[in-house]
Structure 1
Amino acid sequence: MTGSVRLEPVDEQNLEPLLSVAVAEAEPADVMPPVEAPAGWSQARRDAFRDFHRASFGGLDGPTRTLMFAVVAGGEVVGMVRMARCDTPGVVETGMWLGRSARGQGLGAAALRELLNRAAAAGMRTVVAETTPDNAGAVSVLRKCGAKLRDEGGKLHAEMCLDSALPIR
């Protein structure tokens, strides 16, 4: 199972399992935008998590211009990866999170590779991402997927061109 994933568009069927993984294995700030709510996984924050994901049910052509996928490994939801249209045609931005128990198994790179394939199939030419230099897991995943990285004022900007073959490793 190591490194083997399936991506499922986030919908009402997998939203609660995704929230369960987030609550059990991630911090709110790592999996959703900040909201005015009590600290931790309060009911208000759980509701905001649901609302945040439901807003993207329209996909790349919907109001948020974002398509979110549940990352499924071994038949279980273990995290989320998304792509969001940028203002530049043919470019989408990506972000991902995995529950703590799913990290370090090659699942992040497998999920990003699958997302890159989906982006190419949707007619995209480039996928970009941003992280911090100290996010070793994200940097490793981006490198494994052929990203060109550059430091931009303390942030790492990643760019993956879909016009060439994707790395297999």
Structure 2
Amino acid sequence: MTGAVRLEPVNERNLEPLLSVAAAEAEPGEVMPPVEAPAGWSLARRDAFREFHRASFAGLPGPTRTQMYAILAGGEVVGMVRMTRCDEPGTVETGMWLGRSARGQGVGAAALRELLNEAAAAGMRTVVAETTSDNAEALKVLGKCGAKLHEDGGKVHAEICLDSTPPAL
């Protein structure tokens, strides 16, 4: 599956498939900020998911300073990865989620590598991420992509310098 991983900017065409994967294969808290809505994938939460993603349609120069990408594996939407401009010039922060069926297959590392290419093409020099020390899969993906990891009190800060060549998978 990893050989066929590609990114596509989130737009109206792929937003519903992205929501379908999120609702079927992830918990709301894994894929979007908290909202006041009934538990689970209620109609209100689905609407909030759409609005959250639509707010970033303008990409890095837009008001959210965020470019979101649908992750496609074998031509199917399986998750989302994003980059958000940081206050430090040339730096973006990234985050990602995958549907359960795509986890543990190398899709995350392949998607992050694609995002690193997109960040470099956008003129970025550094990609950072935040996770927790118990998120083994995220730490594995970040490590495979050459991140320097710094742990502090259960939180892990990752930094990937785009001026260096990441290690091969």
Q: TM-score, normalised by structure 2?
A: 0.98
1:1-169 paired onto structure 2 within 5 Å: 1-169=1-169
Contact preservation (8 Å) 1:3, 1:109: no
> Which whole-Å deviations, capped at 9, do the CAs of 1:86-143 have from their partners, x for residues lacking one?
0000000000000000001000000000000110111000000000111111010000
Aligned residues: percent identity? 80
Contact preservation (8 Å) 1:7, 1:71: yes
1:33 corresponds to which letter in structure 2?
P
CA distance in 2, matches of 1:2, 1:164: 23
- Quote the RMSD (CA, aligned, Å): 0.8
Q: How many residues align?
A: 169
Structure 2: state its 5+ residue gaps.
none
> Which whole-Å deviations, capped at 9, do the CAs of 1:33-62 have from their partners, x for residues lacking one?
000001000000000000000000000000
2:9 corresponds to which letter in structure 1?
P
TM-superposed CA distance for 1:153, in Å, is 2.6
Contact preservation (8 Å) 2:4, 2:75: no
CA distance in 1, matches of 2:2, 2:60: 29
